[in-house]
């Protein structure tokens, strides 16, 4: 280059990765070799890709969603885009707000000044956002954000919070996780199968959520800190029974609660179990969404389910009946 040559423009600099996402990446272990110390590239303040020390690498989608199942696959079927849209509409209308509040209450029991949350089977991030909102409202957490940088990252509402809150959301559906990235943008969204060993370090998180989601109890116990909590939400007999009769949805299996308590043995101790009943007056569209967003959506189309409700008078009165379980991992003797 001579003195007369034009000076090339500077290379564009990627936005730095927010501290909340840096901390979330630090919670991970490689799903291939279990190495710790993963690093992340940044793209538009989102994760652009993940790399483990042994060289295993995963690119991220535009919204920062990283598919860790690339090349591994799963035998389970993720929710479709239409099912995700139905869930987003139904939850966005606030029908399950009391359930979200109960989950947030359970997750914040005792409070802590440094919280890492894993939502396994997070879907669109509705419940994770409610938990993050509650955690950032805790006085001990709010006091963490005292300088200008912390206040900038914290912002307001569930979208962001004090630098002390870290979150990871996993789900099989990339479509759902794209919505999670909007509902809880400080969380790291990962495509993952809950039935596989979780891509999270031992004793790395303070709260695990599994809301209407698969329950890999040994893995949940492994990734939780000794004083952490697992919050499960399970349907009770009679959950949406009126809607099930109208649409042919499968009923809650008898004895499901007893099997859950048996499965907890050796892994978790029950701290609290709260029954939450939510009476709902639904429009035909709401009721169709409630049916289609669950397992029935894998067996019947939205049009089929809506057709079964077409002649039903409104409001369609149903009751959501769930149990919110708060559990602590049991101490295991050292070898």
pLDDT digits (tens, 9 = 90+) for 219-238: 999 999 999 999 999 999 99
Q: Could you give all domains of the chain from N- to C-terminal order, each with its CATH number? A: 19-328 (3.40.50.150)
Is the pLDDT confidence value at 16 over 70? yes
pLDDT tens digit sequence for 42-66: 998 899 999 999 999 999 998 999 9
For residue 137, name the pLDDT band (cuts at 50, 70, 90).
confident
Residue 326 burial (C-beta neighbours within 10 Å; 0-12, 13-18, 19+):
buried
Q: What is the DSSP annotation of 12-72?
A: PPPPPPPHHHHHHHHTBB-TTT--B--EEEEETTEEEEEE-TTS-EEEB-TTS-EETTTTT
Instruction: Give me the pLDDT at residue 269, please.
Output: 94
Q: Is 147 helix (H, G, I), strand (E, B) or coil?
A: coil
Is the pLDDT confidence value at 194 over 50? yes
Instruction: Give me the pLDDT at residue 174, please.
Output: 95
Return the bridge partners of 64, or none: none
Residue with tokens 């994760």: 47
What's the CA angle centered on 210, arms 207 and 211, to 5 degrees?
Answer: 125
Instruction: Give me the pLDDT at residue 249, please.
Output: 78
How far, CA to CA in Å, does 45 sit from each of 122, 137, 172?
A: 22, 24, 23
Instruction: Give me the pLDDT at residue 9, please.
Output: 52
Instruction: Give me the pLDDT at residue 223, please.
Output: 98
Instruction: Give me the pLDDT at residue 113, please.
Output: 59
For residue 277, name the pLDDT band (cuts at 50, 70, 90).
very high
Instruction: Give me the pLDDT at residue 24, please.
Output: 97
Q: How far apart are CA 104 and CA 3, in angstroms?
A: 63
pLDDT tens digit sequence for 150-182: 333 333 333 444 447 999 999 999 999 999 999
User: Once rounded to an integer, what is the mean pLDDT over residues 143-148?
Assistant: 38
Is the pLDDT confidence value at 146 over 80? no
Picking from 104, 159, 117, the residue whose alpha carbon sits closest to that of residue 24 is: 117
* Pairing label, strands 66-67, 188-191: parallel
Picking from 18, 63, 48, 44, the residue whose alpha carbon sits closest to that of residue 161 is: 18
Q: Are 90 and 73 in contact, with CB atoms under 8 Å apart?
A: no
pLDDT tens digit sequence for 61-83: 989 999 999 776 678 888 999 99
Q: How far apart are CA 313 and CA 306, in angstroms?
A: 13
Instruction: Give me the pLDDT at residue 297, please.
Output: 82
* Terminal alpha carbon distance of the chain: 66
For residue 259, name the pLDDT band (cuts at 50, 70, 90).
confident
Q: How far is C-alpha 162 from the chain's CA centre?
A: 19
How far, CA to CA in Å, does 42 sit from each of 54, 164, 177, 198, 318?
A: 20, 20, 18, 23, 46
Comparing 87-91, 157-161, 209-213, 280-284, the range with the smallest average pLDDT is: 157-161
Q: How far is C-alpha 297 from the chain's CA centre?
A: 20
Instruction: Give me the pLDDT at residue 329, please.
Output: 95
Average pLDDT, the chain: 86
Q: How far apart are CA 317 and CA 311, in angstroms?
A: 14
């Amino acid at each position: 280059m001579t003195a007369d040559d034009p000076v090339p423009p500077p290379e564009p600099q990627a936005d730095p990765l927010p501290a909340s996402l840096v901390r979330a990446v630090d919670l991970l272990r490689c799903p291939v070799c279990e190495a710790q110390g993963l690093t992340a590239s940044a793209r538009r303040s989102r994760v652009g890709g993940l790399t483990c020390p042994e060289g295993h690498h995963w690119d991220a989608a535009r919204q920062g969603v990283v598919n860790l199942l690339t090349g591994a696959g799963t035998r389970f079927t993720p929710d479709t885009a239409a099912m995700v849209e139905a869930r987003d509409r139904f939850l966005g209308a606030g029908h399950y707000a009391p359930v979200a509040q109960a989950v947030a209450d359970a997750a914040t029991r005792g409070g802590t000044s440094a919280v890492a949350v894993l939502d396994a089977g997070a879907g669109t991030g509705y419940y994770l956002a409610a938990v993050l909102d509650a955690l950032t409202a805790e006085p001990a957490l709010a006091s963490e954000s005292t300088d200008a940088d912390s206040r900038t990252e914290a912002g307001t509402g569930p979208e962001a919070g004090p630098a002390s809150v870290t979150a990871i959301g996993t789900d099989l559906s990339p479509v759902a996780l794209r919505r999670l990235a909007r509902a809880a943008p400080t969380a790291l969204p990962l495509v993952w199968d809950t039935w596989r060993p979780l891509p999270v370090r031992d004793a790395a998180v303070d709260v695990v959520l599994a809301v209407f989601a698969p329950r890999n109890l040994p893995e949940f116990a492994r990734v939780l800190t000794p004083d952490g909590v697992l919050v499960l939400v399970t349907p009770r007999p009679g959950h949406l029974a009126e809607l099930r009769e109208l649409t042919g949805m499968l009923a809650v299996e008898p004895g499901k609660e007893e099997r859950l308590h048996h499965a907890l043995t050796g892994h978790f101790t029950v701290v609290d179990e709260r029954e939450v009943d939510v009476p709902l007056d639904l429009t035909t569209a709401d009721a169709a969404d409630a049916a289609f967003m669950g397992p029935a959506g894998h067996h019947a189309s939205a049009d089929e389910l809506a057709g079964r409700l077409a002649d039903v008078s409104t409001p369609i009165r149903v009751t959501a009946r769930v149990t919110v379980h708060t559990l602590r991992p049991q101490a295991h003797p050292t070898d």
